[in-house]
């Protein structure tokens, strides 16, 4: 099989994106090492790989020194809380994983001569004043707002990565990922896709924050994973937007979910959270040109796969609404 001598380390492997990346890199013939401390992820996401001889899992907090035996070709640094209610609950861990964690992984990449791709985010654009967002837009972020812990950690992560590239000649890649959804998201992680699907499946009203006129552009996970793979294998070191430009208001999205679930639930309007971006849509011109990549899974299809995944979950899980308790795992 191709690539079978290449080893890739994936941090955040027990999370939503990390677990899909593990699957894809194994499929491509890589030896995959997954690393996670389970702070927002879950081992269930990796159970299906337990007998795979090309997969190894290491439970580790990447804000602590990371050491690994043997050669390493690539690192995909995806460890970080990613949902607003997660990172607002664990702000210090979020800042640490973006800063100290990234520093440790850049150091590991340097020691091993490995290429490293870091998972950055559309949040580096904050509440954007430019629409759609292009890579050369510098962003509009409130450093001290509740979302600042995530946005600034990711901005620092990008800066540190570029510094290692410039000073040490490290082979770095920066993916600016826009809202991505699909199977293995936590039903109660607070992000809008699992939140609305969970509410619809439980027969509850869908909670819209603000007037629902804010927009997002949702990318199905398989499309994103394809983009990550192509970016890693490219030779481009500046940031690249990866996302689906199909923009929709949150209200219209809620109506789509109600329609799909054939539920007679209603929309309820709650207070908008602080610094919630009003509009977000990736300009993916660069990714198209550079990687010959664009998403191919339309929202209705991706939402169908996601609905099916959540519908098949055990009923207790569907009914469990409380947010994950992080306290046992926090060492800050
Ligand atoms: P997730 O919460 O499902 O996964 C994150 C994983 O990182 C979890 O398994 C968690 O336990 C792990 N983790 C967190 N801190 C850690 C630490 N200190 N040491 C080891 N593991 C740690 O979130 P996700 O949606 O899969 O996001 C993955 C990455 O992609 C994040 O870096 C996130 O910022 C980025 N991203 C995601 C999206 C999206 O829409 N899903 C958009 C932009 C960027
Ligand atoms: N949102 C909502 N109801 C919910 C969860 C989220 O209206 O129950 C809104 C949220 O205010 C934001 C958008 O949906 O405007 C996307 O939120 P999410 O947390 O998924 O990601 P973000 O893009 O804000 O990081």
| Gap between the Cα atoms of 266 and 196, Å rounded | 11
Look up the pTM and report it. Answer: 0.97
Q: Is the pLDDT of residue 321 over 80?
A: no
> Ligand 1 atom closest to Cα of 177?
43
Report pLDDT for 17. Answer: 98
The pLDDT tens digits for 58-99 are 999 999 999 999 999 999 999 999 999 999 999 999 999 999
> Ligand 1 atom closest to Cα of 17?
26
Mean pLDDT of the region 161-170: 98
Q: Percent of the chain scored above 90 by pLDDT?
A: 91
Mean pLDDT of the region 264-270: 94
Listed residue (80, 81, 87, 64) closest to 149, CA to CA = 87
Report pLDDT for 316. Answer: 80
Q: Length of the chain, please? A: 332
Task: Output the CA 80–ligand 1 centroid distance in Å.
Answer: 4
Q: Is the pLDDT of residue 41 over 90?
A: yes
Regarding the beta carbon of 192 and ligand 2, being less than 6 Å apart is answered yes
11, 12, 185, best to mutate for ligand 1 pocket (most atoms within 8 Å of CB): 12
Listed residue (2, 60, 62) closest to 26, CA to CA = 2
CA-based radius of gyration for the chain: 19
The pLDDT tens digits for 46-64 are 999 999 999 999 999 999 9
Report pLDDT for 332. Answer: 53
Under 8 Å between Cβ of 239 and 174: yes
Regarding the beta carbon of 326 and ligand 1, being less than 6 Å apart is answered no
Listed residue (25, 51, 53, 22) closest to 36, CA to CA = 22
Ligand showing the shortest atom-to-Cα distance for residue 179: 1
Residue nearest to atom 13 of ligand 1 (CA): 79
| Gap between the Cα atoms of 26 and 49, Å rounded | 10
Regarding the beta carbon of 287 and ligand 1, being less than 6 Å apart is answered no
The count of other CB atoms within 10 Å of the CB of residue 135 is 18
Regarding the beta carbon of 241 and ligand 1, being less than 6 Å apart is answered no
Regarding the beta carbon of 151 and ligand 1, being less than 6 Å apart is answered no
Listed residue (323, 182, 199) closest to 258, CA to CA = 199
Listed residue (177, 291, 275, 257) closest to 224, CA to CA = 177
Residues facing 241 on adjacent strands: 176
Q: What are phi and psi of 189, to 5 degrees?
A: -85, -5
> Ligand 2 atom closest to Cα of 82?
25
Q: Give the CA angle between residues 155, 157, 158 to the nearest 5°.
A: 65
| Gap between the Cα atoms of 8 and 55, Å rounded | 10
pLDDT, mean over the chain: 95
Report pLDDT for 2. Answer: 65
Q: Give the CA angle between residues 240, 241, 244 to the nearest 5°.
A: 150
Regarding the beta carbon of 180 and ligand 1, being less than 6 Å apart is answered yes
Task: Output the CA 54–ligand 1 centroid distance in Å.
Answer: 22
Task: Output the CA 196–ligand 2 centroid distance in Å.
Answer: 10
Regarding the beta carbon of 157 and ligand 1, being less than 6 Å apart is answered no
Q: Is the pLDDT of residue 331 over 80?
A: no
| Gap between the Cα atoms of 77 and 100, Å rounded | 12
Q: Is the dihedral of CA 131, 214, 12, 304 positive or negative?
A: negative
Residue 292 DSSP class: -
Distances in whole angstroms, Cα of residue 242 to Cα of each of 175, 181, 308? 7, 13, 25
In the block, residue with structure tokens 């040490």: 168
Residue nearest to atom 11 of ligand 2 (CA): 209
Pick the catalytic residue from 30, 125, 150, 181: 150
Report pLDDT for 5. Answer: 85
- Structure-block tokens of residue 67: 């050491």
The pLDDT tens digits for 276-308 are 999 999 999 999 999 999 999 999 999 999 999
- CATH classification of 7-182+219-245+279-297 is 3.40.50.720, yes or no? yes
Name residues whose C-beta falls within 8 Å of residue 235's C-beta, 6 or more positions apart in sequence: none
Task: Output the CA 149–ligand 1 centroid distance in Å.
Answer: 14
150 carries an active-site annotation: yes
Listed residue (120, 89, 87, 156) closest to 17, CA to CA = 120
> Ligand 1 atom closest to Cα of 221?
41
Listed residue (262, 263, 249) closest to 218, CA to CA = 249
Task: Output the CA 41–ligand 1 centroid distance in Å.
Answer: 8
Listed residue (287, 224, 288) closest to 76, CA to CA = 224
Task: Output the CA 315–ligand 2 centroid distance in Å.
Answer: 24
């Amino acid at each position: 099989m191709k690539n079978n001598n290449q080893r890739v380390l994936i941090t955040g492997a027990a999370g939503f994106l990390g677990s899909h990346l593990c699957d894809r890199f194994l499929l491509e013939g890589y030896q995959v090492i997954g690393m996670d401390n389970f702070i927002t992820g879950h081992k269930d996401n990796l159970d299906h790989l337990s007998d795979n001889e090309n997969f190894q899992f290491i439970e580790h907090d990447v804000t602590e020194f990371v050491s690994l035996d043997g050669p390493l070709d690539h690192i995909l640094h995806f460890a970080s809380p990613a949902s607003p209610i997660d990172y607002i609950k664990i702000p210090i861990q979020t800042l640490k994983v973006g800063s100290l964690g990234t520093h440790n992984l850049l150091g590991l990449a340097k020691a091993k001569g490995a290429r490293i791709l870091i998972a950055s985010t559309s949040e580096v654009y904050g509440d954007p004043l430019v629409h759609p967002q292009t890579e050369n837009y510098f962003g509009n972020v409130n450093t001290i707002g509740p979302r600042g812990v995530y946005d600034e950690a990711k901005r620092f992560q990008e800066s540190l990565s570029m510094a290692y590239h410039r000073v040490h000649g490290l082979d770095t890649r920066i993916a600016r990922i826009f809202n991505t959804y699909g199977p293995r998201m936590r039903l109660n992680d607070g992000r809008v896709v699992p939140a609305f699907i969970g509410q619809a499946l439980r027969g509850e009203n869908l909670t819209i924050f603000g007037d629902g006129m804010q927009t997002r552009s949702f990318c199905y996970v398989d499309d994103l994973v394809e983009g990550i793979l192509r970016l890693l294998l490219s030779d481009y070191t500046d940031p690249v937007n990866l996302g689906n430009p199909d923009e929709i208001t949150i209200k219209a999205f809620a109506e789509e979910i109600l329609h799909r679930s054939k539920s007679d639930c209603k929309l309820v309007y709650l207070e908008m959270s602080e610094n919630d971006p009003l509009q977000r849509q990736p300009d993916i011109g660069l990714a198209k040109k550079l990687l010959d990549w664009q998403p191919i899974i339309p929202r209705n299809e991706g939402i169908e796969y996601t609905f099916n995944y959540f519908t098949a979950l055990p009923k207790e899980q569907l009914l469990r609404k409380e947010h994950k308790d992080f306290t046992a795992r926090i060492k800050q």
